Structure 1
Amino acid sequence: MKLQIGGFLDNSLVNGDGMRSVLFVSGCIHNCESCQNQLMQSFDYGDSVLVGDILKKIVKNVPIIKGVTFSGGEPFESALALSKLSEGIRKQGLNIWCYSGYTYDEIINSEDKDKLGLLKFIDVLIDGKFHEELRTDASKYTGSSNQRIIDVQKSISENKIVLWE
């Protein structure tokens, strides 16, 4: 299975908690004003890469990294391929963070099995579209005040949104 990616960082300290690899997927339907990664909105941007090859790049960074972050583009537009990748990431004992323009509620109430399948692998979700008029630097992981940092596994088990601490 292949994934269209716009970029890959071996290690980063700004895309989630701790040292992590970051995968930027291509393709987004949200079209947020002042998007940080406008080029990656195109589903054709970047390179088509085998999921297994991406996993090999991630594995090379273990034990330096403690997790992987999915960004983009919109990761949930590539949910099936990212679920396959997430299986391999989990086997490495790494956590998964994900930035999405979708809200947690939109994903959890979706009838899209692929999106729901991906959500089950994610530890922390930064949800919601970026809104220029709500831009803030109050949190180092969000860009606008409408975005939330959600502990997905606790939210699923408690059947309510639980914010990450």
Structure 2
Amino acid sequence: MNYSQIRAYDVTNGPGVRTTLFVSGCTNNCPECFNKDQQDFNYGKKWDKETEEKFLSYVKSPNVMGVSILGGEPMEQTMDRSLVELLKRIKGETRKSIWLWSGFTYENIIEDEKKREILECVDVLVDGRFVVDLRNLNLKYRGSENQRVINVAKSLEQGKVVSEI
């Protein structure tokens, strides 16, 4: 997995102070994507154990409320196990909330075994492609009205999408 950016203390991507990872690689090619450079799977730096330890040290700060994973496309990080193993470590070592943004819908994700494994590590999924014609700057945590903020555990438990907000 490659990544383009890590923000140790981020207040723009989710509630509270969060540690944020922007992964590289996306095939969705949404019009007016704000992370065009990050669509290339080779963009940025290679994720390695040293980077993972540094990232976890940020997450473990008492000032950090949770983790946000954006891209690129996190659900396309299935070529290796770097992302899913990171998410499992976050859950096991910190119990802090994990939010993930994906252009794929919840319904698409649960049908794919590798994507579902990533999803099962996540607390909140913001799903759906950004759609310019549905842009709404008043929405919390999302850019267009088709996108949903989903409570993953409740959705998996109830077998239907359950909104987080």
The answer, yes or no, to whether TM exceeds 0.5 is yes
Q: Per-residue CA shift, 1:44-92, capped at 9, x if unaligned?
A: 1000021552243232341111111110000011143211001111121
Q: Give the match for residue 87 of structure 1.
A: 88
Q: Give the match for residue 35 of structure 1.
A: 33
Q: Give the match for residue 162 of structure 2.
A: 162
CA distance in 2, matches of 1:162, 1:53: 34
Three-state SS of the structure 2 residue aligned to 1:146 is coil
Question: RMSD over aligned Cα, in angstroms?
Answer: 1.3
Give me the TM-score of the superposition, normalised by structure 1. 0.92
Q: Which residue identity does 2:106 align to in structure 1?
A: Y
Mapped contact 2:19–2:58 kept (Cα < 8 A): no
> Identity of aligned pairs, percent?
38
CA distance in 2, matches of 1:52, 1:96: 21
Match of 1:46 among 26, 44, 52: 44
Three-state SS of the structure 2 residue aligned to 1:114 is helix
User: In terms of mean alpha carbon deviation, does 46-55 or 122-131 score higher?
Assistant: 46-55
Q: Give the match for residue 8 of structure 1.
A: 6
Between Structure 1 and Structure 2, how many residues are aligned? 161
Q: Which runs of 5+ in 1 are unaligned?
A: none
Offset, 1:93: 1.7
Mapped contact 1:100–1:127 kept (Cα < 8 A): yes
CA distance in 2, matches of 1:23, 1:139: 22
Give me the TM-score of the superposition, normalised by structure 2. 0.92
User: In terms of mean alpha carbon deviation, does 52-61 or 27-36 score higher?
Assistant: 52-61
Q: Give the match for residue 65 of structure 1.
A: 64
Q: Which residue identity does 1:102 align to in structure 2?
A: F
CA distance in 1, matches of 2:49, 2:73: 17
CA distance in 2, matches of 1:36, 1:58: 26
CA distance in 1, matches of 2:100, 2:88: 15
Three-state SS of the structure 2 residue aligned to 1:45 is coil
Alpha-carbon distance change, 109 to 49 in structure 1, aligned in 2, over 3 angstroms:
closer
Q: Which runs of 5+ in 2 are unaligned?
A: none
CA distance in 1, matches of 2:42, 2:5: 13
